[in-house]
Structure 1
Amino acid sequence: MPRRFHDEDQLLPPANMLRRVLAIIYDGLISIAVLMVTSWAYTLVAASVIGFERYEAKMEAGTLEADPLLSSVLFVVLFLFFGYFWTRSGQTLGMQVWRIRIQNISGWSVSWVQALKRFMVGALTLFAGMLCLYNWGSWSLIIVAPAVTAVFWPINGESVTDRLSRSQVVRVPTPPKKAG
């Protein structure tokens, strides 16, 4: 169910690049923990399905190194993690710390489709950057960094991700201090 964050006539300033990057780093650390727990649960389920001894033998033989099902599960879990926060409160934990929020232009929470668009653009950009870095070494950062920056860097307050998902990342005002 969509949620209104503020009045339609109230305009919040766009979040600057520094706040966006700091929130991404913060959320990246949380994502690592989520992926580790998911991988652990997946391993337990897979080992119980095929047998622990057989799973251990496959692991020691190195045949489990590229598991497309695990990769798919991790991708879906990560999307559900971000999508849940983006569609409910507009803020992941890192975004709450840095007081930024994803919302529609009119101040409503984003839909799951908008969250999917944001997630896919971010994932494709990250994948392309990692692929270039892996294949061509650290010098590829000279080529990749501007492309990655172009996707996330806000021009007139909007990044490519914002435009493609028809949403915006805004700075949340500081709550008023309580008297007393």
Structure 2
Amino acid sequence: MTTPSNPSCGAPLWRRFAALGYDSLILLAISMAYGAVVTIVGATLGLGSQQGAEQYQPMFATGGIGELVLIGWILTLGSFYVGFWQRSGQTVGMRAWRLCLIDVHTQQPPSAVRCSQRAAWGVLSLLLAGIGYWYRFFSPTGQCLHDKLTTTTVIVLPKNKPG
């Protein structure tokens, strides 16, 4: 990992959202693969294959299995972020936009626990009308709310000089 250009100033929102846009394409592919696996497992187990129109129920609609599938999907998408953040501090989208997630104290990629907490707070920040992201405009350090709560920050890395 290269050293940050200015670790005291968090990455601007437009860069964060651009990286999120790149990552959303990968998350779409992961979601399709997850859906295929769930469908194959459901078909193999015979779920959702009752005979007769009056007995028809959508696959996984009974017995709380639908909620289990949803939780599994959320955990799968969260694992994408946690894995990349913990290993290198960057997802594919963050790498394209020269962003890196670091622990404020160590200046290194955060632990798996901290990454998991950040992923959960990040989703909540986005779902609540983006309020956690807009917090950045009031933060002297340029952190979003989920950065502040997990003592992490997203920084812009310097351009690599050809040579």
Per the shorter chain, which TM-score range? 0.7 to 0.9
Cα 1:63–1:45, aligned 2, differ >3 Å: closer, same or farther? closer
- In 1: Cα distance, 2:136 partner to 2:113 partner: 19
Q: Determine the structure 2 residue equivalent to 1:141.
A: none
> Which letter does structure 2 place at the counterpart of 1:27?
D
What residue is the counterpart of 1:28 in the other structure?
Answer: 24
Give the residue type in structure 2 aligned to 1:40. A
1:123/1:152 Cα in 2 relative to 1: closer, same or farther (>3 Å)?
A: farther
Distance 1:126 1:15 in 2: 17
Once residues 37 and 161 of structure 2 are traced to their aligned partners in structure 1, the CA distance between those partners, rounded to angstroms, is 42
The alignment yields a C-alpha RMSD, in angstroms, of 2.8
Change (3 A) 1:154 1:88: farther
Distance 1:164 1:110 in 2: 13
Q: Give the structure 1 partner of residue 152 of structure 2.
A: 167
**Cα distance, 1:122 vs. partner?**
1.7
Report the alpha carbon displacement of residue 43 of structure 1 after superposing the two structures with TM.
Answer: 1.2
Q: TM-score, normalised by structure 1?
A: 0.73
Partner of 2:100: 101
* Residue 67 of structure 1, CA deviation: 0.9
1:60-89 CA distance string (max 9 Å, x none): 633545811110110111111110100001
Please state how far the C-alpha of 1:176 moved relative to its aligned partner.
2.0
Aligned pairs for 1:113-124 (under 5 A) are 113-124=113-124
Q: Percent identity?
A: 25
Contact 1:152–1:161 (CA<8 Å) still a contact in 2? no
| Whole-angstrom distance in 1 between the partners of 2:20 and 2:136 | 11
| Count of matched residue pairs | 154
More helix by percentage: 1
Q: CA deviation at 1:23?
A: 0.7
Which digits, 9 at most, give the CA deviation of each residue in 1:156-176, with x for residues without a partner? 221111111111100011112
Q: Could you say which residue in structure 1 is the equivalent of 2:139?
A: 155
Could you tell me how far 1:11 is from its partner in structure 2? 4.6
- TM-score, normalised to structure 2's length? 0.80
The aligned residue for residue 90 of structure 1 is 89
Q: Structure 1 104/84 Cα, relative in aligned 2: closer, same or farther at 3 Å?
A: same
Q: Note if contact 2:90-2:99 (Cα within 8 Å) is conserved in structure 1.
A: yes
